[in-house]
Structure 1
Amino acid sequence: MPTITALFAQDDLYHLFQPICQLPSRQILGYEALIRSKTIAGTDKLFQAATAQGKLFDLDTLSVYNAIAFYFSTADRRESNEYLFVNIFPSTLIEEAFPVFLDKVVRQYGELSPRIVFEINESRSEMDDWNNRLFTQNINLMRRHGFLIAFDDVGEGATTLKRMIELTPDFVKMDRFFGKNLSSSKKKQKMIKFFVDYCADESNLILEGIEEPEDLLQAHNLGVTLGQGYLLTKPQPLPGTSLTVFCSIED
């Protein structure tokens, strides 16, 4: 297994982008940046390697910075109304160095903050981090700078449900488990309807894992207005661009 430092040096890391679409029109609301490695197959293995080597914070912040830098590298992209969703680990948010990193992002891209959504994923190994005082403190810091917040994989664990009430994220992304075979599962339909009703006045609900036309239709019938999944579009390079390897974070 190569070291994360070696992957940085070898120009091994890049992003693909998957659209988040309005339903049923499929008009693109924005794109989620998804980190990929040319050497390590599977992002889970990449993050496991980074964790084992004590490099998860470095990998996570470099991924965020490069996604933003690449996405907004053209005038057309900067002037569009589309959002960029960037994934970030709870463990990154509780690092003492996080405000320093965020300050660098603000200096470079602060005027674009209302279109940048920090998507916090609920890793089972990091559930305790949601209760760390720095977690809420740094979410509030991001909001003061104008960034938006999304909770990812909601429904997979109990941590985000509590925090949904306490922090009211701008976007709630339901785990792909609920989108898969939605049309044939009454229980999933009931759960989706519950979240549709709850988020109506609180957050924007996004259903992940939409892979079949009948599930898309069922989601729309339940009141879901935003979706993501292979049926809509698979992760790919941004339209009109090619893959771009990571660069270092500017001072």
Structure 2
Amino acid sequence: MLADCTARGERFAVGALDLDRFKPINDAYGHAVGDRLLIAVAARLKALSGPDLVVARLGGDEFGLLLIGNTDRARAIGQRICDLLTQPFDIDDHRVALGCSIGLALFPDAGATANELFDRSDYALYNVKTMRRGGCAVFSSDHETRIRSERALETALQTADLDRELHVEFQPILSTETRTVLAVEALGRWTSPSMGVIGPERFITTAERVGLMHPITVKLFRLALAHFAAIPPGIGLSFNLSAHDIVSPGTIRLLVEAIGEAGVDPRRVTFELTETALMRDFDAAVVGINLLRGLGVSIALDDFGMGYSSLSYLNRLPLDKVKVDRSFIADMDEDSGSKIIAAILGLCVTLELDCIIEGVETERQLRQVRDLGYGMAQGYLFARPMPLPALLTWLEGASEAPAGRKRPPAARRLPRQSVERSRLAPRGGIH
């Protein structure tokens, strides 16, 4: 059909459609309900189909679209499909709410071949899921510029001397009562000789895309452990694992070996996982978590509250602690925002999980979270990420604190194995 449209010189759009929240529903209600849900989705899409709109299932929860003719309305038609799939589905005795995101590529603007059009519609889909999930995006010249930039970044990373170009910085996590330092978060950094300092999210996303996440994770963790030897023994270390790491037995084995070779007490180490990492392969993630916890390492659910099914993970996962996403701090002055933050803490107390709040930037915010009962916090109020020498100076209190701000003393204790976070990035990578 694409060949016929091309031969006639007819304009058309190729689309990639991906269901939002399908995997959590499939996990929660079982594959039988998931299969019926896909059939119901297909029925709605079929009802929209006609001579100018062809819809086909590509596999899993992904569908393809072919819109022939009036491509000026492509985005509006795509958004109409998104809105249609947002309406609840009644499957057996369950009412479930989905959603979808769509990426579109127009012929001949975005490409002249089927492969180019599919690749670019998939790229537009990836971007809309990242920026505004539940919408429709049309591949544009801005997307083309980003693709070229990303290809240059991929080349730089694939040819990088990782031993020389990677380094780590540390940001402390403190007691809200005493400002005692409880742990440090190790943050991975990459400086490319050809491209300069690469932003954290670009770094991690690119590493995952080109298959370099595992060696980078291991290198950064070994580097963090080497630096950690200079940090006072009462302070813990936390490190973030990506979606690729926690489901890789080989990576888990290397992380365990690194802890043993460094002579670090595993009880001082916390690995943090985001909901995105868990959704990639829940069963494999649980296996990896249990292997690490068997060694004595703690596991934290990071950026809690950002995903669609965080509550279910609290109930189903062998966790030790929860890190409340920094976005909640911004709404704390609202009565509803304060109540949500208090409710999260209450839930963690009930489940006997340590609870750390991120993003504390002012003394007022610190007082508020402390009054709500939070005992651990992290944020720019205390310190920004810093290299090891600066961290050691900061811990010793040798450098002068900003006016009116009390310098936190270094800790000599850990609450319930409470070690905070060393991760590769903010929200799943480096920052």
TM normalised by structure 1 equals 0.85
Q: Distance in 1 between matches of 2:330 and 2:166?
A: 29
User: Is 1:233 paired with 2:383?
Assistant: yes
- Residues 113 and 147 in structure 1, CA contact (< 8 A), matched pair in contact too: yes
CA RMSD of aligned residues (A): 2.0
User: Is 1:174 paired with 2:331?
Assistant: no
Count of matched residue positions in the alignment of Structure 1 and Structure 2 = 233
The letter of the residue matching 2:183 is G
Paired residue for 2:360, among 210, 214, 230? 210
The letter of the residue matching 1:84 is L
Equivalent residue, structure 1, for 2:225? 68
Equivalent residue, structure 2, for 1:85? 238
Deviation at 1:185, TM superposition (A): 2.0
**Residue by residue, what CA displacement relative to the aligned partner does 1:185-239 show, whole Å, maximum 9, x if unpaired?**
2222111111111112411110001112211111111111100000111111232
Paired residue for 2:297, among 130, 133, 147? 147
Deviation at 1:42, TM superposition (A): 1.4
- Residues 185 and 237 in structure 2, CA contact (< 8 A), matched pair in contact too: yes
1:116/1:215 CA distance change after superposition, 3 Å: same
1:103/1:200 CA distance change after superposition, 3 Å: closer
**Which stretches in structure 1 are left out of the alignment for 5+ residues?**
242-251
User: Is 1:8 paired with 2:161?
Assistant: yes
Equivalent residue, structure 2, for 1:128? 279
In percent, how many aligned pairs have the same letter? 27
Q: Distance in 1 between matches of 2:273 and 2:278?
A: 11
Q: Distance in 2 between matches of 1:10 and 1:28?
A: 29
- Segment drifting more, 155-164 vs 214-223: 155-164
The letter of the residue matching 1:198 is L
User: Is 1:26 paired with 2:189?
Assistant: no
User: Is 1:164 paired with 2:321?
Assistant: no
Q: Distance in 1 between matches of 2:258 and 2:162?
A: 22
Q: Distance in 2 between matches of 1:30 and 1:9?
A: 26
1:121/1:40 CA distance change after superposition, 3 Å: farther
User: Is 1:42 paired with 2:194?
Assistant: no
The letter of the residue matching 2:345 is V
Q: Which has the larger radius of gyration?
A: 2
Q: Distance in 2 between matches of 1:161 and 1:109?
A: 35
- Segment drifting more, 57-66 vs 227-236: 57-66
Deviation at 1:57, TM superposition (A): 1.9
Equivalent residue, structure 2, for 1:244? none
1:106/1:231 CA distance change after superposition, 3 Å: closer
TM normalised by structure 2 equals 0.51
**Which stretches in structure 2 are left out of the alignment for 5+ residues?**
1-152, 394-431
Q: Distance in 1 between matches of 2:178 and 2:287?
A: 38
- Residues 14 and 36 in structure 1, CA contact (< 8 A), matched pair in contact too: yes
The letter of the residue matching 2:380 is Y
Specify the SS of the correspondent of 1:19. Answer: strand
Q: Distance in 1 between matches of 2:308 and 2:218?
A: 26
1:127/1:147 CA distance change after superposition, 3 Å: closer
